[in-house]
Structure 1
Amino acid sequence: MEIGIQGVEGSFHNEAASSYFADRPIEIRPFHDFRSLAKSINAKQMDYGVMAIENTIAGTILPNYALINEYDLKITGEIYTRIEMNLIAHKGKKAADLDQIYSHPMALLQCADFLANYPKIKLTEYDDTADSVRFIRDEGMKNAGAIASKKAAEIFDMDILDSNIETNKKNYTRFLIMTSRMNGHDQIPQKASLRVITKHDPGALAEVLLIFKLHGINLTKIQSMPILGKPYQYAFNIDVVWADYDNYKDALQALNNKAELVKVHGEYLKGNIPSV
């Protein structure tokens, strides 16, 4: 089974894919950017794609919501992954031996407290955490390190000098499991991701939210997004969960009667947030 990810093998997308599909053999197909990944999913060039949508520190990845809508992708699942940063270098090296550390700018920021212990080490931004490990290996940079996942160290046969060096240990990323648009469910869904455009009237959003309340539907996320070509008008990306699927279906019917547009991006089993 072929799984598309953003980033190279060993990235956190790779870890999320391996965890979600742990019961099945998979082949990872890397993409340099999210748009290329979305295009390939839409063209049915792989079985599934894995796309990050939000992080507990960095927040929502807004462009990915736009890609999901633009390419009419279907969300079939989700997984929450603990983001554990590790200092990685050539075998036999110690942190004190390093004169430069490469990684994605967000990873460098998330490890600021640890890096403050080594003020003489130059910090260099790189496009991808896992690829920064490959870079220092392939370039033979013996006194350089990289910050990435444990899987990256394993794939590129490098040593982990220090593990879990991120400042905030409650650092999670939510990844969506995507396919091209299709119908049907393998199991009764527990969660849905919706795109809702309300009427441009006073209280329109409040009326939409009241529908969920009256049907016992819990909102786990609501995110406004500008509508292209309509300045200062917004769509709302809404995640909901329920105890009774029939209640959700009734709420969806009421929502269709009230809102200007309702698009179901996916109905799926909700993921479990791992414990620290």
Structure 2
Amino acid sequence: MPSKNDLLKFRNEINDVDKKIVQLLAKRKKLVLNIAKSKIKNNQPIRDIQREKYLLEKLTDLAKKNNLDSNYIIRLFQLIIEESVLTQKEILKKSRNDKNINSPTFSFLGPKGSYSQIATLKYAEKHFERYIENACLNFEEVVKSVECKKSDYAILPIENSCSGFINEVLNILKKTKLFIIGEINIPINHCLLGIKKIELSQIQSIYSHPQPFKQCSNFIKQFPNWKIQYTNSTADAMKKITEYKIQNNVALGSEIGGKIYGLKVLYKNLANKKKNITRFIFLARKFATISSTEKTKLTLILNIKKVSKELDKILLILKNKKIIVKKLTSQNIHKKLCKETFYIDIQGNISSPLMQEIIQKIQKITHFVKILGCYPIENTAQILK
């Protein structure tokens, strides 16, 4: 029978073990906090049932080897795991609440790694401390998410220095009730991206959005045997290459996107022009309020008859008032009616009396005038350096 001294000794040893258990649980909790942050950053689910099952199986085996009751170990670690899950859920909840405070949502053509997402990143970081991203399947969905108040801003590529204006986006602008509130110019470096380094002669299929194919048409024409595969976005193309794992298939997209999807750059700078730039516009539900001292641009849509001299009259008004025309493009809207839709960017501020006067004069010439927005001018010269 143990003496009182022996009993005290055993109890002290148990106290030391219990202390170590508490310290190890504290250490475990710190690791749980780091895991939670990683899951939030990478948008991963909090609970992993398969991992929990595997963990309990391993601990059960370990318990048997150490002559411990398996049910006891299972109950103990189920409690520890539940505590871990609750801790992670609390951190996730706090993170969401923090993000939603003054954090606008930006909708763009996704998934992540697309040029639209790159443009969103550069624009949002200029204007906001925090923001939320919403990747969409197509341009229509991008705009509708803002119209339906699911997002605050929509980003659309409107023109490219190689392929010109994007007709699909111009058609959307004609219909939407959103307003352009900003723009950003992004240098575009189209790359061939693959699972591993291969020769051009080994390529069978190439995946991308229709726009990069237009912008790199001179390069693509050299390989008539390549099968062209159209996707919703450049990032979608890269995602497919990663998922299909066919070494002879490649994607046409950005180097940044290639890194996200773990693809290797086969060739760079494939656009028809050396300086390939895409202008992206940002749209919101409300008209932008801009200082009168800021250099601004006004975008209008006009419906004009082809046979008339309406366009000449409008351009003459702008010339007489010394208004700079930044961009002018047109689309046929009805051949029988001989009408065209004109998109025109002019330098000026909608709030100025001069611009109000000019708008009134234009309205008298053509019955349809839509003001798409008034917003700060992006300095393209800095991009081209």
- For residues 30-52 of structure 1, give each alpha carbon's deviation from its aligned partner in whole angstroms, at most 9, with x where no partner exists: 22222222222222220111111
Which structure 2 residues correspond to residues 1-276 of structure 1 after superposition, within 5 A?
1-23=104-126, 24=128, 25-90=130-195, 93-96=196-199, 98-104=202-208, 105-108=210-213, 110-111=215-216, 122-127=226-231, 128-180=233-285, 182-188=286-292, 190-198=296-304, 202-227=308-333, 231-242=337-348, 245-273=352-380, 274-275=383-384
SS in structure 1 at match of 2:106 = strand
CA distance in 1, matches of 2:215, 2:168: 21
CA distance in 1, matches of 2:141, 2:170: 14
Aligned residues: 272
CA distance in 1, matches of 2:250, 2:149: 38
Compared CA separation, residues 88 and 121, structure 1 to 2 (3 A): farther
- The answer (yes or no) to whether the contact 1:217–1:247 under 8 Å persists in 2 is no
Larger fraction in helix: 2
SS in structure 2 at match of 1:79 = strand
Compared CA separation, residues 137 and 262, structure 1 to 2 (3 A): same
Q: Give the number of the structure whose alpha-carbon radius of gyration is greater.
A: 2
Compared CA separation, residues 197 and 176, structure 1 to 2 (3 A): same
Residue identity opposite 1:203 in structure 2: K
| 5+ long unaligned stretches in structure 2 | 1-103
SS in structure 2 at match of 1:263 = strand
Compared CA separation, residues 145 and 193, structure 1 to 2 (3 A): same
Taking structure 2 as the reference length, what is the TM-score of the superposition?
Answer: 0.62
- For residues 66-105 of structure 1, give each alpha carbon's deviation from its aligned partner in whole angstroms, at most 9, with x where no partner exists: 2122121200011122210112222xx3232853342225
- The answer (yes or no) to whether the contact 1:224–1:234 under 8 Å persists in 2 is yes
CA distance in 2, matches of 1:46, 1:201: 42
CA distance in 2, matches of 1:110, 1:17: 21
- For residues 106-153 of structure 1, give each alpha carbon's deviation from its aligned partner in whole angstroms, at most 9, with x where no partner exists: 434544565688x59734323132212111111222343222112211
Larger fraction in strand: 1
Question: Could you tell which deviates more after superposition, 164-173 or 10-19?
Answer: 164-173
- For residues 220-258 of structure 1, give each alpha carbon's deviation from its aligned partner in whole angstroms, at most 9, with x where no partner exists: 122233457983223322110149955333322333344
| 5+ long unaligned stretches in structure 1 | none
CA distance in 2, matches of 1:265, 1:110: 26
CA distance in 2, matches of 1:96, 1:66: 40
CA distance in 2, matches of 1:67, 1:59: 16
CA distance in 1, matches of 2:311, 2:220: 45
Question: Could you tell which deviates more after superposition, 4-13 or 201-210?
Answer: 201-210
- How much does 1:203 deviate? 2.6
CA distance in 1, matches of 2:366, 2:271: 43
Taking structure 1 as the reference length, what is the TM-score of the superposition?
Answer: 0.84
Compared CA separation, residues 207 and 125, structure 1 to 2 (3 A): same
- For residues 138-180 of structure 1, give each alpha carbon's deviation from its aligned partner in whole angstroms, at most 9, with x where no partner exists: 1222343222112211221222233323342122211111112
- The answer (yes or no) to whether the contact 1:9–1:28 under 8 Å persists in 2 is no
- How much does 1:265 deviate? 0.7
**CA RMSD after TM alignment:** 3.0
- The answer (yes or no) to whether the contact 2:180–2:374 under 8 Å persists in 1 is yes
